[in-house]
Structure 1
Amino acid sequence: MRNMGEGLVLKGVSFLKRQETAFNVNMVRRSVENFAVSLVQQYQSIYLIALGANSVQIGLVNSLAGVGATLTALPSGWAIDRYGLKRTFFFGTIFMAVGALLFGLATSWLWTIPAMFIFTLAARVNQTSCPVVCGSSLVNEDRAVGMQLCDSLAAISGIVAPIVGAAVIAASGGMTADGIRPIFWIQFVVLVAEFGLVAWKFSNPSKRATPKRGLGMFEGVREVLSKGVAVKRFLLYQSIMTVPFFLNMIYIPLYAAEVKGADAFTLGGMATAALLVPLILSIPSGKLADRFGRKRVVYLCLPLYCLSLVLLAFAPVGASWMLIASGVFQGFYMLGMVTGTAMRAEIVPISLLGSWGGLLGLFGGVVGIIVPVSAGWIWNLAGPASVLTLLIAATVVGGTVLTTMPETLKMKREI
């Protein structure tokens, strides 16, 4: 067993040594950012409730933030192709820190609107930039493993963060506005540290060392649509699968707290459990995806994610162990989405990955405007469990669309 562990470590070190500095530094950057995001994610909806919001107003805050993400999507993708990844990471990280600061200063749920708007806008810039690093610096045969390895390191910080958040909240007075507020101060400090890391260590990948300055924003989108393979179908798939991304973040913790009686430590345990699956299975699933294809791995993950929703729906009130078990299976959503991200990097030329990411962000942003507030109304009119039904339906439809996509593992593409 020890020799097997040493062998895995040596293979991991060998894998990292043959990758570009941009990829290795970005793994660390993403882990730092994931700690900052995971620190508050489970408690954000509870914070808004404590500040006086109801379920519809929580949806409204997130939908308005989605407007910011949508407006930023195409410009951020164009900026990546025109000015380079380092500058876009600068912008995204510093404004995420500003958003965290505004959250900490909020005294009413209305004051969280500008905080969420700025934070989500800036996070969209970094979310658009991050996959471009892997898409530009990894060869096809390494891409799924590389992305899953990056996800594993981010999962470690994400496992620690919710427990740290729960401990800080418990020490600060419990799940009240004043009890939750200190975790936003910590988030601000961590994001400032991430900015320093980007300034000190990050450099653009060699294939993108010279930004493509000739194309305008809409010209880049036209080239994506003309030179990419099945990009419209992938846009549809990604947009549908963005529905669980938003609702997992907003309404799953709220459902667990309000309907199933989860406390701060149970919510933290659910978030930690959800990250255990990517941490433990990311490398094996990446190897499977690099050997047998991306789609097969996604097909394995989606039913297990739906199982997490079934467990959550049928968990007795106060059954923390069942809620945490639901969290474990929720991790398969992220595992499948990371594998899908490898596909998205393989269907357009490398020089257009920024514009492609911006286009995906635009459609994801539209989903982010419509879905949270719609789910809030559904929650009120049809009951909290209806949101879980919506999640299962979106997953089934997304999986069906994926069956129409070509397998991308051996696909050749332009530089």
Structure 2
Amino acid sequence: MNNVILMLKDLDRRVRFMLISQSIYTFGVQLITQYNTLFAQTLGASGSDVGLINSISSGVQGALSMHIGLAAEKHSIKKIMLVGLLCDISAMAILIFAALLHTPWYVLIPAFILYFQLIRYLPFADMIVVLFANSDKRATVLGLSRLFRGLMGLVAPAIASLVVTYYGGISPEGIFPLYCISLTIFTSVFLLTSKFFPETKLSNNVDKSCSNPKNTGFIREYSEFFKDKNVRRWILIKLFARDGFQFMLTIFVPLWLVNIKGATPVELGLIAFFSTVADMLFQVPVGKLADKIGRRRAFFIFTMFYCLGVSILIWSPSHEYLMLAAILGGATGSIVGGIGGTAFTPFITMWWEIVPTESKGKLYGLDNLLITISRAPAAMIGGILWDVGFKELTLLIPVFVELFIVVPLIFILPKRTGRKDMLIKTK
């Protein structure tokens, strides 16, 4: 604990600010995550209507993500984050309006587009950590940030359930207070970011680039970006890994637990609890290990826990083994959680380190685009396999992809140069 406190004191003030602000922001997100779809249903949305809402929001995100990435390089990171927070605030206002007036479900479409999709605050928090933390402490600080997020993930849903129950259960009236609280939280983060986070730009050539159309061509800039061989390799890794086939687990692990293993609501709660606690306890140690022995080695070690956890989930002889699978990271229905989920910390550290500072905006845009285009095919493949009876295979495919595609691709990546990213222009 003393070492963590000393490390926090030595961090750049912008990193310390993001650790605090992203924790507050995560609380607001976790407070309402479980209830957004339920809220749409209380306003009359069917399952297909909910799918349509999410498809539209994902489509808009994919269409604009790379443009937003370029904007992050042409303007200050602070301005982009503030615009994103304004989107979240506007979304909460729409949701509050819908709850008060019991509007039709389609009024929620703009809110789903704006909230947590268009400009994502948390990836910018990761970017800032990578930019301002020393290279030998980056993974540790990212692990610490996920520890803070994990704490919010434990506390916020419990508070949300109490609030919804007190105000009448799953109904517009019961969910309405959550949106009011989140509106207050997002507004507070907006004011804190506006006041205390300095103007920070990724390039000294911002003004020149903006004034010269030849330098700001969308296709031209990204065509140069994609010439980097490592970027192309990482596109494959992201498509197959965390943004691709592993997304299948978020859909089908809950179905497997309930329909195949017969897990009760209490057991589902215990699985989520053990997974979250294990993830929190291992985040900082895994980050330190990644800084000491290298990102790749740490990823290889801890992604094996995830693969083992999924295997135990499939072939567990009793419900007690489901808890073991949760601790290992294979029973969460999420791309993070459990010991194996901590592999994401060295993974995301490597992702943000693959390009120099002035290209990290494009990397952010690429990240959002890959999320959009990779999840739909994975979900479709998983759904077909599940419906035709290959349920075990549906859960095993992400493990096979991790072991035989993702791990080899990461293995052939060049070692880090040790270069310390520095932001070029700050005020």
Same fold, TM exceeding 0.5? yes
SS state at 1:230 partner: helix
Report what 2:372 is aligned to.
Answer: 365
1:348: Cα distance to partner? 1.2
With 294-303 and 365-374 compared, the bigger mean Cα shift is at 365-374
Whether the 8 Å contact between 2:134 and 2:420 is mirrored in structure 1 is no
With 90-99 and 103-112 compared, the bigger mean Cα shift is at 103-112
1:95 to 63, 87, 90: 87
Asked if residue 337 in structure 1 is aligned to residue 344 in structure 2, the reply is yes
Report what 1:86 is aligned to.
Answer: 78
Distance 1:333 1:112 in 2: 36
With 338-347 and 370-379 compared, the bigger mean Cα shift is at 370-379
Whether the 8 Å contact between 1:42 and 1:268 is mirrored in structure 2 is no
Report what 1:328 is aligned to.
Answer: 327
2:206 to 199, 212, 234: 212
Closer/same/farther in 2, CA of residues 413 and 171 from structure 1, 3 Å limit: closer
Report what 2:410 is aligned to.
Answer: 402
Map 1:232-247 → 2, pairs under 5 A: 232-240=232-240, 241-243=242-244, 246-247=247-248
Closer/same/farther in 2, CA of residues 413 and 97 from structure 1, 3 Å limit: closer
1:403: Cα distance to partner? 2.5
Closer/same/farther in 2, CA of residues 412 and 169 from structure 1, 3 Å limit: closer
1:290: Cα distance to partner? 0.9
With 37-46 and 195-204 compared, the bigger mean Cα shift is at 37-46
1:293: Cα distance to partner? 0.9
2:114 to 113, 118, 124: 118
Whether the 8 Å contact between 2:131 and 2:421 is mirrored in structure 1 is no
Map 1:272-351 → 2, pairs under 5 A: 272-310=273-311, 312-313=313-314, 325-330=324-329, 331=337, 332=339, 334-351=341-358
TM-score, L = length of structure 1 = 0.81
Map 1:9-408 → 2, pairs under 5 A: 9=2, 11-44=3-36, 58-103=50-95, 105=98, 110-122=106-118, 124-174=119-169, 179-180=174-175, 182-205=177-200, 208=202, 210=204, 212-213=206-207, 214=209, 215-216=215-216, 217-226=218-227, 228=228, 230-240=230-240, 241-243=242-244, 246-247=247-248, 252-253=253-254, 260=262, 262-263=264-265, 269-310=270-311, 312-313=313-314, 325-330=324-329, 331=337, 332=339, 334-372=341-379, 375=382, 382=389, 387-396=394-403, 397-408=405-416
Closer/same/farther in 2, CA of residues 151 and 128 from structure 1, 3 Å limit: closer
Whether the 8 Å contact between 2:76 and 2:199 is mirrored in structure 1 is yes
Report what 2:333 is aligned to.
Answer: none
1:74: Cα distance to partner? 0.8
Distance 1:261 1:156 in 2: 25
Q: Which has the larger radius of gyration?
A: 2
Report what 1:5 is aligned to.
Answer: none
Whether the 8 Å contact between 1:274 and 1:329 is mirrored in structure 2 is yes
Structure 2: gaps (5+ residues): 210-214, 330-336
Cα shift readout 1:60-91 (whole Å, capped 9, x = no counterpart): 44333221221221122111111111111111
Whether the 8 Å contact between 1:36 and 1:190 is mirrored in structure 2 is yes
Percent identity, aligned pairs only, is 21
Whether the 8 Å contact between 1:229 and 1:348 is mirrored in structure 2 is no
Structure 1: gaps (5+ residues): 1-7
Whether the 8 Å contact between 1:345 and 1:353 is mirrored in structure 2 is yes
Distance 2:369 2:5 in 1: 37
- Give the length in aligned residue pairs: 401
With 333-342 and 98-107 compared, the bigger mean Cα shift is at 98-107
Whether the 8 Å contact between 2:245 and 2:401 is mirrored in structure 1 is yes
TM-score, L = length of structure 2 = 0.79
Distance 1:165 1:267 in 2: 17
Distance 2:384 2:41 in 1: 16
Whether the 8 Å contact between 2:65 and 2:365 is mirrored in structure 1 is yes
SS state at 1:141 partner: coil
Whether the 8 Å contact between 1:59 and 1:373 is mirrored in structure 2 is no
**Amino acid paired to 2:352:** A
Whether the 8 Å contact between 1:273 and 1:327 is mirrored in structure 2 is yes
1:95: Cα distance to partner? 1.1
Distance 2:192 2:346 in 1: 27
1:405: Cα distance to partner? 2.0
Whether the 8 Å contact between 1:294 and 1:339 is mirrored in structure 2 is yes
**Amino acid paired to 1:35:** F
1:131: Cα distance to partner? 2.7
Closer/same/farther in 2, CA of residues 26 and 111 from structure 1, 3 Å limit: same
Distance 1:257 1:44 in 2: 22
Whether the 8 Å contact between 1:237 and 1:398 is mirrored in structure 2 is yes
Distance 2:294 2:270 in 1: 32
Whether the 8 Å contact between 2:22 and 2:122 is mirrored in structure 1 is no
